[in-house]
Amino acid sequence: MAAKGTAAKSASGASMSKYDMEVEKRLQALEVEAHPKCHHDTEEVDTDRLSALEARFDDLLAHLKNHFGDLED
């Protein structure tokens, strides 16, 4: 009987082969290089700014609906 292996797991819990692990490692390195200032896990969200942006978006959407008629969400 074959020994049970201990495959690496992805963030979703799926098993990952050695190839998958290498590709994931390279992808993460490329993402860090492409977006060096993005630290989504470490930065706090500016909730006031986010709320202001959401309000502006809602106003824009209302204006477009008024001009073009009802738009599907």
Per-residue confidence in pLDDT tens, the chain, 73 aa: 455 566 677 777 788 888 888 998 999 888 888 876 665 555 677 888 889 999 999 999 889 888 888 766 5
Between CA 6 and CA 10 the distance in angstroms is: 13
Per-residue model confidence (pLDDT) at position 43: 63
- Domain span including residue 50: 11-68
Residue 16 lies in a domain: yes
Helix (H, G, I), strand (E, B) or coil at 71: coil
pLDDT given for residue 9 in this prediction:
73
What pLDDT was estimated at residue 29?
87
Is 58 inside a domain boundary? yes
User: Is there a domain that residue 50 lies in?
Assistant: yes
Residue at 5 is within a domain: no
Rounded Cα distance between 56 and 29, Å, is 35
Q: Is residue 2 one of the residues assigned to a domain? A: no
Tell me how many domains the chain contains. Answer: 1
Judge whether 27 lies within some domain.
Answer: yes
Residue at 4 is within a domain: no
Residue 73 lies in a domain: no
Closest to 6 (Cα-Cα) out of 20, 15, 19: 15
What per-residue confidence (pLDDT) applies to 46?
Answer: 80
Contact 40, 28 (CB under 8 A): no
Question: From CA 31, how far away is CA 12, in angstroms rounded?
Answer: 19
